[in-house]
Amino acid sequence: MLFNSIDFAIFLPIVFLLYWFVTKGNLKLQNTLLLFSSYFFYACWDWRFLFLLIFSTLLDYFTGIKMSDAKSASSKKFWFWLSVSVNLGFLGVFKYYNFFAESFASALENLGLQINPWTLNLILPVGISFYTFHGLSYVIDIYKDRIKAEKNFIDYAVFVSFFPLLVAGPIERATHLLPQIQKRRTFDYAKAVDGLKQILWGLFKKIVIADNCAEFANLIFNHSDDYSGSTLLLGALFFSIQIYGDFSGYSDIAIGTAKLFGIELLRNFAFPCFSRDIAEFWRRWHISLSSWFRDYLYIPLGGSKGGTWMKIRNTFIIFIVSGFWHGANWTFIVWGALNAVYFLPLLLHNKNRNHLDVVAAGKLVPTAKEFFSMLLTFLMTVFAWIFFRAENIQHAMSYISDLFSGLASKSSYVETMNLIRWQIGYGIPLVIVLFFSLEWLGRENQYAISQLGKTWKRPMRHALYYALIFAIFWFGGKEQQFIYFQF
């Protein structure tokens, strides 16, 4: 059930009305409704994998209690490693087994040994990386004595499977979400209106920006041998805008939907396209995942407190693991390693925390230095996204080679202009410019239009919302699945 589907447009109002008007503020009934609604939402993808989600939930629920009740450190450690091993085992089998089997066979083939690896014909359960990380953070926090185990199964199960975040995040923490689930919630009109605005902005990002960019990015990447130079650069730009609009759009819809039920989810994006260096970019992009790896992997490894070698090691570990988390393909690993290379000079020169504020705060335009810093950072991320989008390493290297070799060719720019004139048109590029203009104007807020029009008269404010709705129906591209569903 996609957020941008008719099914969800029917499902959400029904759950909303039942939640506020049938449960009548009864917390137990509200949480039970959220749980069964979430399971129904997930079963709409593939009901068979619902049992895997329930098993994972039961595993962490019971091992969490066992850890809290453990009489000895060895017993606590046993239950902790049981949960971690089984969770990572399922993730490894479904997501990574074929990758390791095929990579091992390829390595032996390079040594002159021919084998036919046994692979599994398995469908990747949607959202498995996200709900696995929910459970892992929960058991790690119990093991580290940061929290106590939750004894109410319904409450814990809602934490793991709350439908707005179930299939693509944000990756929540028990310390943040569980207290909200356990606390009585009353309808807040202002919060609900804010949630609807954020949903609207998220749908605009996804349907108008991401889905249109996807068509042109797919056209160029899927036929990259037919293009060169500036056209390939255009394809990389389209994909960079697509993945931002797609994933941040999903996050906005998820966060806005949660607000309708009186729940605040973790922020996942903070205008990363306006970052002045790569460290700032990673503080603003997929925040819940970046902070998860920081807290549960980077800091336990020693973070940046050790010597130079430890800093380099830990940086590469966290970025490569982050890349591998995204998918079982060498392209993701190279993408992660490339971002580590980008990040290291900042870390080693203690400049990785230079930009903790909002760029050009309180100003309409940035300084020249800020502008060129943002442009350079954006182009660096665009280059890295080529590996993320490419089918394999060979495709990525061929794409990059043709891109740079063709940039000096006049015919390449003629080719690009013809593509824009006859296939892309000028409407979508203008909408993209308008989109980033609104993002820039709203960069000091939680999302771009949260404060836009606050001081306007009601007819003008409503005209803005109707204009966005019109744009969604008029400029909406061909429906595309959310990119992060595959992770």
Q: State how far the Cα of 340 lies from the Cα of 396, in Å rounded to an integer.
A: 18
Q: Is 469 helix (H, G, I), strand (E, B) or coil?
A: helix
Kind and range of the H or E run holding 124: none
Measured CA angle at 176 (ends 173, 179), to 5 deg: 120
* Joined tokens for residue 113: 């040994």
Residues in the chain: 487
Cβ(407)–Cβ(229) below 8 Å: yes
**Closest of 21, 32, 27 to residue 183, by C-alpha:** 27
Alpha-carbon Rg for the chain, nearest whole angstrom, is 23
CB 480 within 8 A of CB 211: yes
CA distances (Å), origin 190, targets 147, 177, 259: 32, 20, 10
Distances (CA, A) of 479 to 209, 213, 421, 448: 12, 11, 23, 23
Are 382 and 281 within 8 A, CB to CB?
no
Active site residue 223: no
The amino acid sitting at 3 is: F
Between vectors from CA 247 to CA 384 and to CA 13, what angle results, nearest 5°? 175
What is the four-CA torsion angle of 322, 324, 330, 336, rounded to 10 degrees? 0
Task: Enter the tokens of residue 264.
Answer: 């605040």
Main-chain dihedrals φ then ψ at residue 224, nearest 5 degrees: -60, -25
**Candidates 326, 349, 355, 462; catalytic one:** 326
Q: Which residues contact 150 (CB under 8 A, 6 or more apart)?
A: 61, 64, 156, 159, 174, 178
Asked if residues 297 and 322 have their Cβ atoms less than 8 Å apart, the reply is: no
The token duo for 192 is 């609900």
Q: Which string of DSSP letters, residue by residue, matches 373-437? A: HHHHHHHHHHHHHHHHHSSSHHHHHHHHHHHHHHTT-HHHHHHHHHHIIIII-SHHHHHHHHHHH
CB atoms within 10 A of CB 395: 18
Active site residues: 326
